[in-house]
Amino acid sequence: MSTSEIAELRRTIGQLRQCVGALRSRYGDASAVRRLANDVERLDIDTADLDGVPLAVPAQAKAAERVPVPDTPYDPSLWHGADDEGVGGYKRDQR
């Protein structure tokens, strides 16, 4: 992120912090207000982390990092004892 983007993000986080403070004065220490305050703190921490991160690598440079996936079928023993998601599985209601 550029310096101006980081500055804008910090300014916006400051505004959010003020809004959460106003909510805290109105609703007290409600769990929703605590969660919002925690979210604002998390945004502040993540912004500080981004401030030191180098810019993203262009897509052309990532092309060399591709891992080929074979078209051959998987070994059926990998799925032995596995349930099918979404259909309840075959071990359902065993009594």
Residue 29 phi, psi dihedral angles, 5° rounding: -95, 45
- Cβ pair 37, 74 in contact under 8 A: no
What's 28's DSSP letter?
-
Condensed to tens digits (0 to 9), the pLDDT of residues 13-36 reads 999 999 999 999 999 999 999 999
pTM exceeds 0.75: no
- Residue-wise pLDDT for 40-76, tens only, equals 999 999 998 887 766 555 555 555 677 788 888 888 8
User: What residue spans define the domains of the chain?
Assistant: 3-52
Please report how the helices 31-51 and 3-27 are oriented relative to each other, as an axis angle in degrees rounded to 10.
Answer: 170
